[in-house]
Structure 1
Amino acid sequence: MSKDINDLSEQIQTIVDEFQGEVGIIVREGTKNIFSKNEEKIFQSASIIKLFILEALIEKIENNVLLYNQRVLLKNEDKVAGFGALKLLDENINLTIKDLATLMITLSDNTATNMLIDLVGIEYIQEFIKRKGYLETRLERKMFDYISREKGLDNYTSARDSFRVLKNLSKDYIALDILKNQLCNSKIPLYFFRKIEVAHKTGDLTNIEHDVGTLFFKNTSIDLIILAEGQNKDAVLLNNYLGEAVYNFYKE
C-alpha cells in the first residue's frame, strides 16, 4: 500500500502547531515541497552561520587562494569559549585548513571557526553572502565576540538561505563528507541515529535550537530545515519529532 505524502504534511503541521514558539521550516524531496512555513523569517543563526563560512572557504580553495592542506598554528589568543575541542589543547598545534573546517562543522568548534574567519576574511565572507543572494543571512561578528554583541551586532539567517547553502555544499564531496560525519546528533537524527546517513549542522543559543540537514534513504533523500526559537527543551523536541516523522514515513 503506497503512502500518501499528505499524511506526512499533516503530521508535520500537527507537530509544528503544538510548539510554543517561532519556526522556519522546509521539508523537500528533490524539487517537491512537502511542507514549508516562514521560509524567509529571520532568526539568530547560531552555528548555522558556519555553513556559509564553509562555502566561502571552498570558493577560496577553488580559486587556489587557500589550500585544504595548508597548515595553521593554534595560538592561545585564538581560543574562545563554547563548543569545541581546540580551546582545551596546547598551543602551537599545526592544523590543516581541512582540520579546521572539519572541527567547525562536526564539533561546532568556535575556535576553529574564528581561525577560518580570519583566514578567509570576514569582509570576504560578508561580500560572498551578498553575492550569492543569501538575502536573510548576515555575518556581523565572530564567535564569542562579546564587544561586537554589546554593540548590537549578531549573525542571522533564514530557512530559505539555510536550504540553499546546504544544497550548494552537498555538491562538494569534501563538504558533504564532513556534514555526514556530524558529531552533534541530539536533534533531527536522535530517534534514528546510525540507521541512515544524515548530512547536517546544528545551531543553538539561549532559546534557539536549529538543525539543517539531508536524510539519505535507499531510494530518495529528504531535505529537512528546522529553525526554532522558543524554550530550548521544547525546541529540541520539535527537532526530534520532525526528524522522527520524516524517518518513519520514508524508511524501508
Structure 2
Amino acid sequence: MENKIKEILSHYKGVFGVIIKDSFGNRLAINENEVFPSASIIKLFILNRLTKEDYDVIVKLTKEVKVGGCGVLKSLKDGLMLTTKDLAYLMICLSDNTATNLLIDYVGMENVNQHSKENGYLHTILGRKMMDIEAKKAGKDNFTSPKDVERILDILCEDKDCLDMLKNQACNNKLPLYLPEEVELAHKTGELTSIEHDVGRLYFEKGWVDIIVLTKELLDNTDGKKLNNEIGKVVYDYYNQ
C-alpha cells in the first residue's frame, strides 16, 4: 500500500502530506509535519472547543453575520434561532461558513488557539474567520499539519455527536468517490485554490483506518481531487482483501 500511495503522488505536481493509521497500530506518514493552509479542516479544531453544555445555547442568525461560500445559512431568513449544536452540524456536514463564523464568535478565536498551543498542536492556527478577505490580505490565515489533524481526528471520532456529524458529510467527491455506498467514512474536506484536503476514519469489518490527505501548490484542483480518489480506493482495497 505504501508503494502504491507514493506512486499515486508521483503522478501529480504539488506538496502532499499523508498519514494512514489503523486500529491495529500500523502507521504510514509522508510529510506529517508539513504546514498547510487548512481551508475548512480548521473547522475540526473549532468543533473540538464546543462542550456538551454548549450544545443547547441559542444563537441568532442576523444579516450582518452572513458570508458567502459553502453553506445554506446565508440564504435563510434573518432572525432564525439555532443551537450551537445545529451550527456544528451545518459547519461539518455542509461546511457552512456562516455557521462556522457564528461558532468562532461563540467559542472565541483566542480560545481555539490557546487550546491548540496548550495541547501540542504545533502547526494549527485559526488566524481569521471564513471568507474574511481583508484579514487574508493582511497576512492572517488558518493553518494545520497532517500530524495535528491525526490527533484531532482521534479525539472527535471518540465522541458520539462529533462522529455522527463526520459520518453525515455531504461533500463526498474525494476519498469516498470510488468506495461502495455502504462503506462508513467519517470525514471532513477542505478546498481553496490549489488546495484539496480530505481527512477521515474509514470503518471496515475488523476495525478502522484513518486517512489524512492534505495538499497545496497544486497545478490544478482537479489533480487534488483525483489523488484523493485514488488514495481512498487503494486504502479501501488494502483493508478489504
Q: TM-score, normalised by structure 2?
A: 0.96
Aligned to 1:209: 196
Q: CA deviation at 1:193?
A: 4.9
**For structure 1, which runs of at least 5 residues remain unmatched after alignment?**
1-7
Q: Distance in 1 between matches of 2:116 and 2:30?
A: 23
Q: Distance in 2 between matches of 1:238 and 1:36?
A: 16
Q: Output the aligned Cα RMSD.
A: 1.2
Matched, 1:29 2:22: yes
1:241 to 227, 230, 234: 230
2:133 to 137, 141, 146: 146
1:18 to 11, 23, 31: 11
Q: TM-score, normalised by structure 1?
A: 0.92
Equivalent pair of 1:105/1:178 in contact (CA under 8 Å): yes
Q: Distance in 1 between matches of 2:45 and 2:114?
A: 11
Equivalent pair of 1:24/1:226 in contact (CA under 8 Å): yes
Matched, 1:108 2:77: no
Q: CA deviation at 1:11?
A: 1.1
**For structure 2, which runs of at least 5 residues remain unmatched after alignment?**
none
Q: CA deviation at 1:170?
A: 0.9
**1:43 alignment partner AA:** F
Aligned to 1:52: 45
Equivalent pair of 1:42/1:156 in contact (CA under 8 Å): yes
Q: Distance in 2 between matches of 1:248 and 1:138?
A: 35
Q: Distance in 1 between matches of 2:99 and 2:65?
A: 8
2:143 to 140, 156, 172: 156
Equivalent pair of 1:185/1:193 in contact (CA under 8 Å): no
Aligned to 1:86: 73
Equivalent pair of 1:179/1:200 in contact (CA under 8 Å): yes
Matched, 1:183 2:176: no
Q: Secondary structure at the match of 2:79?
A: coil
Q: How many residues align?
A: 239
Q: Secondary structure at the match of 1:191?
A: coil
Equivalent pair of 1:126/1:138 in contact (CA under 8 Å): yes
Matched, 1:200 2:187: yes
